[in-house]
Structure 1
């Protein structure tokens, strides 16, 4: 079984990627682009899947991280894919992900400082 810190890194990296995908587009361009929509949704699914695998101990120690919302979105997107509200996906990608990334970075630094320091290093 993978360790919590690996799931947290997956979440942080996926959030960063999704944020980058929408960085230079407006909502209209996002809604018109199947490519960008698919890319962002895939990263949101990674975030939701990884969040669901983080141990209950970590989730309990960090109740301000929206674990249930993140995993809930993933479940809805996977099971009701043809009903995805792309305006909600846009809002998540352009607002909620930044805050989530900050929360996860704080968590990673507190719980796994060595991993957090490696994440800050250029590849």
Structure 2
């Protein structure tokens, strides 16, 4: 694995951790009623998508089970269509996808260090 990819994976893991910390203790309604958290989560999703865009094509092809294109596509939607973004969809994404993504990224780094 390229050094640059390792750095990006580390940053992605950090960003997923940040999202999980931001929503810790919140339920769906709490999230919808917390404007600061909604905006912070969306900004962090943008960061994640931007980082994914900088991962090498080689690494992406080595791990096709990760939805790289969908992650970067969410970044584009969140950044350019924020006013029409459905926060219900953001919540579902964060609840169902962030922790599994973090776990996969951690395994990628573990495999590379062996």
TM-score w.r.t. the length of structure 1 is 0.86
Residue 44 of structure 1 aligns with which residue?
Answer: 45
Residue 34 of structure 1 aligns with which residue?
Answer: 35
Give, in whole Å, the separation in 2 of the partners of 1:40 and 1:77. Answer: 10
Q: Secondary structure in 1 aligned to 2:64?
A: coil
Give, in whole Å, the separation in 1 of the partners of 2:104 and 2:10. Answer: 12
**Structure 1 residue 93: Cα displacement:** 1.5
**Structure 1 residue 108: Cα displacement:** 1.4
CA deviation digits over 1:100-123, x for unaligned, max 9? 011111111122x28xxxxxxxxx
Contact 1:10 1:46 in 2 (8 A): no
CA RMSD after TM alignment: 1.4
Unaligned runs of 5+ in 1: 115-123
**Structure 1 residue 82: Cα displacement:** 0.9
Give, in whole Å, the separation in 2 of the partners of 1:4 and 1:109. Answer: 13
Give, in whole Å, the separation in 1 of the partners of 2:67 and 2:47. Answer: 15
Give, in whole Å, the separation in 2 of the partners of 1:75 and 1:29. Answer: 25
Q: Secondary structure in 1 aligned to 2:69?
A: helix
Residue 62 of structure 1 aligns with which residue?
Answer: 63
Unaligned runs of 5+ in 2: none
Misfit runs of 4+, over 4 Å? none
Aligned length: 112
CA deviation digits over 1:9-34, x for unaligned, max 9? 11111011101111101111100111
Q: Secondary structure in 2 aligned to 1:3?
A: helix
Counterpart mapping for 1:77-88 below 5 A: 77-88=78-89
Residue 99 of structure 1 aligns with which residue?
Answer: 100
